[in-house]
Structure 1
């Protein structure tokens, strides 16, 4: 029997597909089938792992791949990786409180809380204002970007393993995110699509953010997006190094350390285990591009 385990963090939901629970090799078809909210289990993405090869890794290190709902692979994902760390401890894969998760975007450290529902913290490491897709490789900090004729945003780029474009706006609303989020993600000036964050600074310790993720669309919360918004606001001199980020799904805490590492803390929630029907499983094993 193939089983997946569903979690969410502030409404940003993921399925853990563990090979030991019958999960197939990751691919576009399997991810789309699982994440479909009408004909599948439904989620913003899938966490495939722990993957083979663990025997060569140090103790407390686990390999995982992250896929968006549309089947595209994400180098790493702050909310998803916090969920995956909780999964590993809850399902007896480790008894440690501090883990290293090995992703295509690099190694990430996660510190779990004292209980399953307590906030856990992920260290996303250093960040940059250079989006790899920027033609000349220069930093984008508080510059006007015309995302379509007649529509210009005050934008700051942040790359924290995933590319982001943060737009500073007077009032970050769902309606505004739905209008300009797709334009930012599809902006022709970048060859690598960024996630879009709309940022309103409430005060030096509080941010309000709306998110439009590539491969997902509107989402109630994003860990790496919250970190990107905090980094942008800090670099623009608008906030202190430690802030609360308010999103539709709830709040997280982001801290920028003296050596400019980015720490994200927030809750995770278990939804349940889902046993997949025999007639559904063949959809996960369809040949798909890797």
Structure 2
């Protein structure tokens, strides 16, 4: 059977949609690593496997879809704000739904996505509530604006945010790609964490504008991250530095984040379709034979 993938990106954060109806392999680490390799595969930051058979009852098959998200290194991500916005666009563009708003079910919880009109316009995802109690910390402790020595001689002002994925937001004077490459791996790999978080380096430009650099577990340096932008906005707001609605500027571009009165976080931003990729017969064996994990 021919295997076809569809590639999208949002602000340079790129994903492959692997749809079983288009011959996609079962979700798993080996297949994901093979597909995401930028030299010997198609190349991407991750793979969106779905829509998959429903893990529970679905009242409306046009409204609710199951999907799993994998990072480029093969590790599974509970959910990805950018990835899920891309997946919602894929479903609409490929006739799987006619709705403007749908629910995506992930291991990290259900999320609602509202598609733009036209579908190429900015979409909005509701990531729900968040907490500063992180499973990355021993006992799920709360961490807000605390000095943290991530390696000998390097201390950051740290705030934990968990919005379905663990994040560690470091408030810095000047968030640059060079600084992210230097301390991002140390934050992600900090020995005091029970679970690796994504690292966001945050500089507050004014009460409505943030500048953020991203270092993701399982990916490394990333030009943009939806859940990372939300984590930075939540941290800045909790520290009293910003208004509820902010623009988050990342190397790949900008997104809008809104913290609602009932403390839910909404992310709005664009996405772009790169195109369809049909895998060669000689490449398919490299995907490995994995069943669902």
Query: Would you say same fold, with TM above 0.5?
Result: yes
For residue 140 of structure 2, give the secondary structure of its aligned residue in structure 1.
coil
Alpha-carbon offset, residue 284 of structure 1: 1.4
For residue 83 of structure 2, give the secondary structure of its aligned residue in structure 1.
helix
Structure 2 length normalisation: TM-score? Answer: 0.97
Say if 1:110 and 1:122, in contact at 8 Å, map to a contact too. yes
Which residue does 2:39 correspond to in 1?
38
Which residue does 1:112 correspond to in 2?
115
**Partners of 2:119 and 2:100 in 1: CA distance:** 11
In structure 1, runs of 5+ residues without a counterpart are none
After superposition, where does 1:161-176 map in structure 2 within 5 Å? 161-176=164-179
Query: Aligned in 2, Cα 1:288/1:171: closer, same or farther, shift over 3 Å?
Result: farther
In structure 2, runs of 5+ residues without a counterpart are none
Count of aligned positions? 290
**Partners of 1:119 and 1:58 in 2: CA distance:** 27
Alpha-carbon offset, residue 54 of structure 1: 7.4
Alpha-carbon offset, residue 286 of structure 1: 3.3
Whether 2:229 is the aligned partner of 1:221: answer no
Say if 2:258 and 2:267, in contact at 8 Å, map to a contact too. yes
| Alignment deviations for residues 92-115 of structure 1 (CA, whole Å, 9 cap, x no partner) | 000000000000000000000111
Which residue does 2:12 correspond to in 1?
11
Whether 2:105 is the aligned partner of 1:135: answer no
RMSD across aligned C-alpha pairs, in angstroms?
A: 1.2
Say if 2:26 and 2:290, in contact at 8 Å, map to a contact too. no
Which residue does 1:97 correspond to in 2?
100
1:148 maps to which of 148, 151, 166: 151
Moved more, 50-59 or 193-202: 50-59
Whether 2:215 is the aligned partner of 1:212: answer yes
**Partners of 2:274 and 2:248 in 1: CA distance:** 24
For residue 99 of structure 1, give the secondary structure of its aligned residue in structure 2.
strand
Which residue does 2:237 correspond to in 1?
234
Alpha-carbon offset, residue 289 of structure 1: 8.9
Which residue does 1:53 correspond to in 2?
54
**Partners of 2:255 and 2:269 in 1: CA distance:** 5
**Partners of 2:20 and 2:106 in 1: CA distance:** 16
For residue 73 of structure 2, give the secondary structure of its aligned residue in structure 1.
coil
Say if 1:54 and 1:61, in contact at 8 Å, map to a contact too. no
Say if 2:36 and 2:43, in contact at 8 Å, map to a contact too. yes
Alpha-carbon offset, residue 58 of structure 1: 2.4
**Partners of 2:114 and 2:55 in 1: CA distance:** 20
2:126 maps to which of 123, 127, 131: 123
Which residue does 2:192 correspond to in 1?
189
